[in-house]
Structures are given as C-alpha cells and as structure tokens.
Amino acid sequence: MYRIDPLLIEKCRALRKKAFTLGEIIRVVKLPKTTVYDHIHDIPLSIEIKKRIQEKNTKRINKLNRQRKGKCWPGRVVPKPKGWTNELILLIAHFMFDGEIGTHSCVYQNRNLILIKRVKTLVKNIFNLNPIPRFYTETGVHRISYHYVELANYFQKKSIQLKKYIKVASLRDKKSFLHAFFDDEGCAYHWKNARKVRGYQHNLKILKLVQDLLKDFGIESRIEKKYKEIVISRKENLIKFQDKINFSKGIYINPERKNSIWKKKLEKREILKKAIASYTI
C-alpha cells in the first residue's frame, strides 16, 4: 500500500466541495477511483449541486444521442448495400406492404410462416442480423422485430428510393416487387362467375405504381378507389398473372375471416388455378 500525498487528498476534498464529479476529480488528481472515493464520500452535496450535476449529465447524454442519430452503438454496425439486388428489392417491398418501418426498429408481420421465414432469411443474408424471438398473436399473426437504429434509418431511405427505381428497373426486379405485393396484400377470388386477383393497399399511389408495373407484363387491371384495391380480371389477364407473377407456393388464405367464402385453408395459387380452369372454352 502506497502513501498518498496529503496535499492531493486536500485537493480532492476541495474539488468535491466545488461540486466536481468523481470522474472530474480523478482526471485532475490522476489517482485511482477507489482512492479518490474513499476521501470524498463523506462530503454531502447540496440539492443545488446534485441538480447541477444531473443537468450536466443530461446535456452530455443528449449530445451523444445527437451525434449517434441514425447509427447503432459501437459494435452493432449494420451493413448498408448501396445498389439494388433482387433480394434487397423483395425485402424492402415486404416491409413496405406488411411491415412497419419506424425510427428505431423494423417490424414484419404475417400469418403465413413461409413469408415470415423468407423475410428472416433475407435479413440474415443481407445484413447478418437476427430478429428478437417471434411473437405470435391470438389472431394467428406472426411478428418479427429488428431493433437497430441504423437498419430502420436505412430502410426508410430505401423504401422511398425503391418507389422511383422500380419504375425503370428490369422485369426481373419488377417481378420481385409485384411478387411481394401480391403475397402480402393479394388474394385470388373465385365465386360462381366471378374470377379475380385482388390486391389491397390504403395508399392509392402504390396501387397506381402496381398497375403500371403490371402493364409492363401485358396485364391489364383496374383500381377500385372506394375499396382501395387493384383488381385483375378476364381470363387472358389471369393467365398472364399466373405465368409471369403468381403467388408463392405455400401462401394460404385466412379461412377464419368473417367474409371468407371457402371456410377452409387453401393456397392462393390453387384458387387462381381453379378459377382459370373454370372458364368454358
């Protein structure tokens, strides 16, 4: 055990009485933390001084938060691809349609486990991130969340950019965008003489974008503004949709919906197939 210079001890106590924090005193006298604490812990601080220290700490934290806005804490850096790949288009589109892109987190929810696994795999492949444990609601919807500030900030920017890029993208990229839209928001409808593929979206600009992209594949459609949906009908359009876009295998309708016609679990692509086959020659 080494001897501490009495002058340093007095200096520690004098600084404490002037409302210096423990860390500030350590930096001035250059003594170990425990040593300094042993010689100042008995000096009571007034309410005014405690308030001043608290305000100083708050300002420091706020400054740090401003500096790291849009960034993760050190050690949690998220890769941010600059260009567009087919996988990235599919992923961003899924979060645009059945997801939530916030300021600090990204959430995707769907009752189809195939889509949940697809999104989970895409995020892992592109960003090497895993979601928090999957949450299953009483309504049968699965929910996965990614709480990364950088990822949320990146997704916000890319979702805006994608709406512009997809208009001039390749047919392969456009197909991925439409694939995500109809897997998330679409359904096949076949009842008596009515045969349709429908896609729901509250944003009419998105519906117009989807309609324009469908035209690039020779598929005609109409937008029902009242019901906020896009509708594909007539045999030739349904066949083109089936051949060029279609629903993913294993994506089922929700048989528990109040307005469900089938009342049983059926694949969307199978309903479409039966609808097309029902046309008389």
> Which one is predicted more confidently, 91 or 63?
91
35-57: burial string, b at 16+ Cβ within 10 Å, e else: bbeebbeeeeeeeebeeebeeee
Tokens of 206: 């998105």
Note the pLDDT of residue 280. 75
Contacts of 173 (CB under 8 A, 6+ apart): 84, 86, 89, 166
CB atoms under 10 Å from CB of 84, counted, come to 18
> Which band of pLDDT confidence, cut at 50, 70 and 90, is reported for residue 281?
low
> First CA to last CA across the chain, in angstroms?
100
Q: How confident is the model at residue 70 (pLDDT cuts 50, 70, 90)?
A: very low
pLDDT above 80: residue 35: yes
Q: Is the pLDDT of residue 100 over 90?
A: yes
Query: Cβ(14)–Cβ(24) under 8 Å?
Result: no
List of E strands, the chain: 99-101, 106-110, 135-136, 142-146, 186-191, 194-200, 222-224, 229-233
Mean pLDDT of the residues in the chain = 86
Please determine, for residue 34, whether its predicted confidence score (pLDDT) is greater than 70: yes
Confidence of residue 276 (pLDDT cuts 50, 70, 90): very high
Task: Express each pLDDT in 143-190 by its tens digit.
Answer: 999 999 899 999 999 999 999 999 999 999 999 999 999 999 999 988
pTM (two decimals): 0.72
pLDDT digits 0-9 by tens, 248-265: 999 988 656 555 555 567
- Say if residue 270's pLDDT is above 70: yes
191 neighbors 271 (Cβ within 8 angstroms): no
72-95 per-position pLDDT tens digit: 444 456 888 989 999 999 999 999
- Cβ 210 vs Cβ 201: under 8 Å: yes
